[in-house]
Amino acid sequence: MGVQRAVKMALEAPHFLLEPIYTIGSLIHNPQVLEDLRKKGIQTLSEIPQKGHGTVLIRAHGVPPKVREELTMAGFQIADATCPKVIKVQTIIAYYAQKGHRVIIVGEAHHPEVIGLLGFAQNLGVVVSDLNELQKLPLFENAIVVAQTTQSRMEYDKIKKWLQKNVPYYIIFSTICASTKDRQKEVEKIMNQVDALIVVGGFNSGNTRRLVQIGQKSGKPTYHVETEIELNMKELFSFSRIGITTGASTPNWVIQRVIDKITQECK
């Protein structure tokens, strides 16, 4: 939902927003969509200039409050395409940081969503990627725990169980997007029904990589591709049943091309 909303806003932007139109960083983690946006004249800002004009779309992953302030100070108008699920986590963090709670974020430290979330923690935030890193942290007097919205459901469940047993006074929030949870559960389920799995999505997409990991954990051949061009048809011919899943930011037309190539060449 958040990805579709961001892309829709970007595609409609030239009709109602002040041009030129930019995104601050990649709008979503899908190179095919980003190329489509470039063709429509929507550019990517890698850094904020001292002075600028036009409109900047805040990416689906969100940004730290400081970035928003710098864009406004530079003279840009802002259109917010932050995923509503991410905004909810930002709001939780801002509320508890204001009360002096330490903020533990379970996720990838260099992921744009996590960087944005840290910006709401008022220097009280810390990022851990797994239970091992969490256990190395000192015990805080007051703390909340949230997850990157596209985090591994299994890893976060493991962390929640440990926290409930060892530091029951920490406040834990279930912030993984329902769509992400459902997709991960579905991949776990279909791995019992297929000989191999194809995961379609951006190579730099965290939620897509986690689907790949689930497939690999099953012990069955798992292929991560961005487009149909990367399909290894020679290997795929050796399987009788193939599962296909996609990352959250993979557009329908990319998925359909993958399906079409497999069905046409396997006839």
Catalytic residues: 113
> Could you tell me which residues are beta bridge partners of residue 24?
45
Q: Which residues pair with 10 in a beta bridge?
A: none
d(CA 195, CA 157) in angstroms, rounded, equals 28
Which residues have C-beta within 8 Å of that of residue 47, sequence separation ≥ 6? none
The answer to whether the CB of 122 falls within 8 A of the CB of 172 is: no
Supply the angle between the helices 178-190 and 153-166 in degrees, to the nearest 10: 110
Strand order in the sheet with 55-58: 43-45, 21-24, 55-58, 77-80
User: How many Å apart are CA 216 and CA 155, to the nearest integer?
Assistant: 16
DSSP state of 142: S
Separation between Cα atoms, residue 203 and residue 74, nearest integer Å = 33
Tokens of 10: 């970007």
